[in-house]
Every structure is written in C-alpha cells, then in structure tokens.
Structure 1
Amino acid sequence: MPESTPVTQDQYIPAAIAKMADRLEQSTGQQPRITRTSPLHFLLTLTNDRVCLTITWRRDGQGAWKWKHSTLAVDGKDRELARDYDDFIRIWNDPDQADAPPPVAALPALTPLEDESVLPGVIQRTLRSVRAAEDAQVTVAASERGYTLQVTGPSSTMRINYVKGGRTDYSWGPDPRNPFQVYDAYGVERTEHFSRDLNTALAQILGTASAPTVPSQLGNPRSSSVQNSVQVRRHSVIRV
C-alpha cells in the first residue's frame, strides 16, 4: 500500500483503532481519516475548521496495536493534550474555551466516623501512618461492607475500601473486589492506571518516595519504591 493512503472500510483496520474512530464519529459527527503510514503504523486524523487531533498507533513485537503518540492543535497552534476523552470533546465543541479547566466532578459523599476508636487495629495503624505524612487530609467513614479511608493529597484523592476477611481483627484489609479508587483534581477516576497496586497509588497521592505499609489481602504488605512512583506519575493520565 502506498505511504499515507487512506484506509477504506473494506480494508483491514485494527479493532482498537476502529473502535476509537467509531466513538469519535458518534461524539463529534465527523468521520476520522485513518491512514496506514507504514507496515507498523496507523494514523487517525480528526479535523474541523479549528481543531485537529492526530493519534498514532504502532504494532508491537507481539502483533498488538498500541497507542503511541497524539497531537492536538487549535487554530493551527499546537497545545497541551486533553486530560481525557470528555475534555477533548469539550475542546472540540467549544475551542474558545480550550484553556479553561474542565468542570470538577463531585465525589460520592462520605460521612466521617465520629468515634475512630471503634476501628479495627489494622485500620487504626494505617490511619496513623498516613496522617503522619505532610500535605495529606485523611478521613474514615463506615461503608456498606466495612470502612472507607479517604486520603486527599495536593492534586488527587484516594479511597481505600476495607472489609473483614475472617474472624480476627487482623483479617481486615482492602476489599479484594474493589480495593481502592483514585480520583484526580477534577474528580475523574484514574484507578485503572495503577494496576491494583495500592501502595504505589498511595505513594503518588502523598507525593512521597514510598507509601506507609498497608496490610493487604492482595498480597504481602510492601512499600513502593521511588522508581515505581515516578513511573506511575509519568503514565497516570490517558490523554487524547
């Protein structure tokens, strides 16, 4: 296929790219242009009179197509990428407000526990460790299945969901089905970017090299390293 030839509907388009193209068309009313720029690359371009989005996919060694690079321009000038899909649609629909922060979504309300002395010892120890960190606000609330510990840092919030796994006080730990959630400053959930690694997520919330050890039913307690924390910070926001 000649370089930069647009791909037609009857030609091969990887499923992930086709799915993104369909979603963008439904949201914007504009059909993206998909180009096979090399045997290893596809390029998606979506434009209107003022906004231009490009997304490049690359095939890895296992044959999977991975999102490699994105660009976003408004009125012909490159700008920072959107924070997420909804933010891109906001910019597409109203480019004059491209630099305005997206609206903040309210997190589900928690009712702080009045008497923390009723908490299991495992949760109390974690609570004391987290409260020792600087620039962190910590609250704990009763939940339907146990307790929720909320940690709010300078730019994000984390909720750890504790349940009882056995008869003893020591059996309390993060819920295996839903151990924690992470939200950015705009209330957008970012939990999936931490691959169920509670301690790395907590280290990022606190802005520290390592998080306080959190007893966990997900595996052995551990503290996250500086390297892991930095890697997560670099890749913790999906942008389009």
Structure 2
Amino acid sequence: MNRRAFMGAWRKEWKMMKHSFAFILLMAMLLVIGMFGVTTELESGFTSLGVGVFMFPAYFLLSLNTEALQMQQFLHMNKSLHNVILAKFLNGLLLTVSYAFVMGMILFIINQMNGQIPAAEFFIHLILLVTNILLLTVFPTMIIFLVWSLYHVVRKFHTAIGIIAIILFLYVFNEGFRAFDDTPLYDALTNWGTVTWETGFPVVDFGTYSAFPLTSSGDIQFQSGMILFYACLCLTFYLISMYLLERKVEV
C-alpha cells in the first residue's frame, strides 16, 4: 500500500467527515449521561464504555453513504479503493479510541476520588478493556460493509429488490450463524487458548450479555481461538466486499 496515497485518502476522509466525527462523539456522551446520569460510581462508568462498541459501525456506515452521495466516481476507483476504505476504518477506530479516552479520563478522576484501584493498574486494565471493545466492534462493522456492498449489487435491478434481498440475507445469515454456534465444530474452532488477566474491576450484572469479557470475579478473560476465528471471518467479509465494489457497481 502506497503510504502517500493512503495519507491523501485519510486527509480527504477527515475533511469530509470531521463534523460527523464530532457529532457522533457528542451524541455518545449525551447518550451515556441519559443512560447513567451524572454519577461517581465506578461500576456505571465502566459499563458506559460499552457504548463505544456501536460507534465504529455507525461512523463507517455514515461515511460510506456520505462518500457515495458526494462522489459518483467512488466505486470506479480501483487503484485507490483499498486506501479509501482503510481510511474509513482508521477514522472509525480513532473515533472509538477518542470516546474511550474521554471516558477513561472521567473514570480516572472517579477512581482517584474513590481510591478503588491504584492508578498504574487502572490504566493498564483500561487499555485492555478498550482493546477488547475495538475487537468486538470490528465484526459488526465488517457485516455492515458486506451488506452495503451486496445492496449496491442487487439494487441495479430495483431498489425494492435490493432491500428485500438484504433483509433475506440478514435473516439467513443470522439463523445460519446461530445454528453453527451450537455445533461441535464451532466449539472446536473457538474454544481454545483461554487467557485470563486478574484484575480488581467491579462487575455489574444486568442478567444479559456484557460487551466486556469479564468473569464473575472481575477478571478479564478471552479465548485466542475465538479472536482468530472472527478475525478470519472479518478478513473474508472484507475481501468479498472489496471484490464486489471493484466490479464498478453503480451507486
């Protein structure tokens, strides 16, 4: 990948999306205040970091649509299309990291007020949590990219057909993945390489799936096999999406 070409694509992306970048970040902060209020509880603060999972997919979809609206030649850029898409990935990740940085500073102040976790340990574990959030947010972003690409293939025939096809695709994909999730093959592919990091994090149990890979004792735990499996899926979705876009589909 040409570094100069990529930096040019990223500067163009930033110029096009800087206001949306700030808007999404502001809306996320307001959403956190609306959900948890102004609190000094460290537990609620850590839970609010979960909002960051939705920021990358939301930004990426908005950026794709904005690009397509502003530049009809978008899907005719074979030589630089990878740079354009990767610039969107980079900005989406920067948005998520920016949110985590703001929330992290707030959590650090709360932690210092309450004196619950030593500062050095707090920052180490906060970085691990943010890393896990970034890993969690890539997969839905790749699904959005694939769906967006498929839609612009099918919509050549008719917009309504494209919408129906995407709904059917999402239904079949969801049901198929749920069925695969219960198979021994899925367990064999993902259920290995367990890594546990002992922490002093407080745990909030809402009785539902948590965005954070925390054990009941507050330790960070993840499986290397699962990360590798979803990384391969993400790469596959990316390559398929790029193949579709490089067919010069009309937006």
By relative contact order (CA 8 Å, sep 6+), the higher-ranking structure is: 2
TM-score (norm 1): 0.27
**Structure with greater strand share of residues:** 1
**Structure with greater helix share of residues:** 2
Larger radius of gyration: 1
